[in-house]
Structures are given as C-alpha cells and as structure tokens.
Amino acid sequence: GENVEQHPSTLSVQEGDSAVIKCTYSDSASNYFPWYKQELGKRPQLIIDIRSNVGEKKDQRIAVTLNKTAKHFSLHITETQPEDSAVYFCAASTTGTASKLTFGTGTRLQVTL
Amino acid sequence: GAGVSQTPSNKVTEKGKYVELRCDPISGHTALYWYRQSLGQGPEFLIYFQGTGAADDSGLPNDRFFAVRPEGSVSTLKIQRTERGDSAVYLCASSGGRGSTDTQYFGPGTRLTVL
C-alpha cells in the first residue's frame, strides 16, 4: 500500500519568514495530494490540494509543488504569521475520487515573533 | 452550511466495554470515511462508505471494529470489547458534494479513552 513520509517533524521560523514542508510517497498510482492544517484539539482543515496533472498550485501565501517523477510534493508558506502555527499533514490518495487518504506523520510549525 | 458533526465529543469507557461513535456527514455527501488519530500521529484510515455499502474496510484493525451506514447518511462506528490500545481520537470525514468530489471534510472527532 501507499506510504507517505513527511519532514521535518518540527519547524520553527520567525514571523515573516518562509516555511517549507516536504513529503514523499511510494505509490506511483497516487494522483491527489491534499494538505491539512490541524490546530491543537481541532479537526484537520484542508488548506490546499494538488492533482497529478499540474506541477504547482498557489493560493495567496500558500503554494504546493509536485514532482511526479521523484514522487515528492512540498508545501510552501510565505510571509508566515503567528496564526500559521499548527500541525500540518500531507496526504496522498490512489484514485482521487472517494478514496482513502494516507497521511504523513505531521510537521509542527511554530512561528515566533 | 453545517459541517461534519460527531458525537459524543468525548467518551470514557472501561476495558471490555462496547462503544458506539456517531458521525453526521455534510448533507448530500455520498462518501463517508472513518480515521483514527493517535497522539502525535497523522490520521490512519479505517473504513469508507460509498452510499450505504462499505467500499473499503481494509483499515479496520480487527473484528472488534465494525461500522454501518444503513441509510447512506449517518454512520456509526462500533467497537466491541474495548482495549486500552483503542484509545485515540476517531475522526469522520465526508466527500462527494458538488464541485470537488475528492475533498474530504473532517468532523471534530470523538476522543475515546479506554481505562
């Protein structure tokens, strides 16, 4: 089955700096890659996703890149703010439609003033 | 509109007892998923329903775990003979509305503690 690895496990940046979180996946059939943000004690919330037919997607301060050949995808947050502090999870899905997500182990992002 | 809801928010039980966890998906969503999240880990897939049927139950850890979705909306996750290792947050998600059918929207979870 699919295996998703995520790095780093913790990341501390100063407010205004950029943060990058990287994931790798094992199943070449995976074609849907969402990113979720989870604040302490809260539900995971989708912040951005990408499908395998594109290499990059942006939404304001957030961007995701995908390298299908290398089976890598990354989350980029620019101009970080204290409210960006949370745990971020990457995930991969094999069919992209009503299919289970395999999650990474998470990255705890701390944005300091 | 209303998001995914789950009840109870917290459940404390004793080892060996039976528990039921409920999930109300977003109205109109055809797919419903159950995940389990242990402390410091990502959600781990358990089972998903497409309509009333279990389309994939490969994540259920053993036969003590069972889930139903009899009318294609609300789902119940049932755990028999609970063990301390079952303690975790059980998350429900739904997808399949208009627009992106891939996006899974999560509920707040039920925190299960087995003493």
pLDDT at B20: 98
Nearest to B42 among A51, A100, A103 (CB): A103
pLDDT number for residue A1:
85
- From chain B, the residues in CB contact with A34 under 8 A are 102-104
For residue A105, list chain B residues with Cβ-Cβ distance below 8 A.
Answer: 40-42
What is residue B98's predicted lDDT score, i.e. its pLDDT?
63
Residue stretches of chain A with pLDDT short of 70: 95-98
Judge whether B51 and B66 are in contact, CB under 8 Å.
no
Contacts of B2 by beta carbon, 8 Å cutoff, 6+ apart: B26, B27
- pLDDT, averaged in runs of 10, over chain B (115 residues): 91 98 94 95 95 91 96 96 98 81 91 98
- Compute φ and ψ for B108, nearest 5 degrees: -75, -15
Averaged pLDDT score across all residues of chain A = 94
Pick from B33, B102, B109: which is nearest to A32 by CB? B102
